[in-house]
Chain A
Amino acid sequence: MEISLAELASGAPCVVLQGRLDTPGVDRIEASFSAAVARAARGVAVDLTAVSFLSSMGVRMIIAAAKSQRSQGRKLVMFGAQPIVLQTLKMVGLDQIIPIAADGDQAQALLGA
């Protein structure tokens, strides 16, 4: 599991995740992920394009980050989820409570950036 930082075309911060978001994956990147999200002063996008698998540990990590953003009046938006990952997000109803965009441009629009 890898994590890197990028920017959307608008300059809005984007956290890029790559690999399996399961227990070992979350153990590896959770601290960096929380820190990267906390540094995003005006909302953050999470790029899931290269995430091949999502378990409940990954969902927990995303919920915690979205809640911490919300508590400071900021947004967290996900985009690029592959079908298997999207299916898991929908299975637990995450698509109803955290915006999921198809791509970076849509994520940018949802962030209002």
Chain B
Amino acid sequence: MRAPPPSLLIPMAADKASLEIARLQARQFLENNGVDEHALAGVELVLEEAATNVLRYGYEGLPQAEHWIEIDLQVDLDEVQVLLVDDGKPFDPLDEGAVLLPDTLDDAQVGGLGLLMIRNTASRLAYERRDGKNRLTMTIPRV
């Protein structure tokens, strides 16, 4: 019987300081499982962009409460699965319109860049809303 792929669940409080600690935990785990620097940078990028989005916008208008985020990593032979679970407002990044690249510096917008980076870095994205939580799976190729 084949061993299950290495995986790591990182629960974190929904704040910037905890995200930095979670990133370092994720990096250590991926390095220990032989994920190369290029794929690792991809994981760090989608994690930072998706989690920062949740921290900035996910709890707007919600009652003050302690919020938690879960990061679930799974290292497969040819890809890394990054699942981000948050209890913020429903937000399906797959449902957002295309982000256009600017033609000039004057046209350059500072919003939407994170989503553009996630779409261009992940080979697959999957979203579902379940039990009052957003579940975003971002797949990063290991080649």
Residue B104, interface by CB 8 Å: yes
Total A-B pairs, Cβ < 8 A: 65
Q: Given contacts A92-B117, A97-B102, is CB(A67)–CB(B49) below 8 Å?
A: no
Complex contacts, B106 vs chain A, CB 8 Å: 67, 70
- Does A49 reach chain B (CB closer than 8 Å)? no
A55-B20 contact in complex given A91-B116, A98-B105, C-beta closer than 8 Å: no
B45→A88 contact, CB < 8 A = yes
Are A24 and B16 in touch, CB under 8 angstroms?
yes
Residues of A within 8 Å of B105, CB to CB, are 63, 66-67, 70, 97-98
The answer on a CB contact under 8 Å between B117 and A96 is no
Number of A interface residues at 8 Å Cβ cutoff, please give it. Answer: 24
Closest CB-CB distance, B143 to chain A, in whole Å?
14
- For the complex, count residues of B whose C-beta is within 8 A of A: 26
Decide if the interface of chain B is mainly helix, strand, loop or mixed.
helix
B55 — nearest CB in chain A belongs to which residue? A23
What residue in chain A is nearest B110 (Cβ atoms)? A60
Residues from chain B with a CB closer than 8 A to the CB of A106 are none
Say whether A67 contacts B108, CB under 8 Å: yes
Q: Could you name 17 residue pairs across A and B whose Cβ atoms are closer than 8 Å?
A: A22-B48, A23-B48, A24-B16, A24-B20, A55-B52, A55-B114, A66-B105, A67-B105, A70-B105, A84-B37, A84-B38, A88-B45, A92-B101, A92-B116, A96-B101, A96-B103, A97-B105
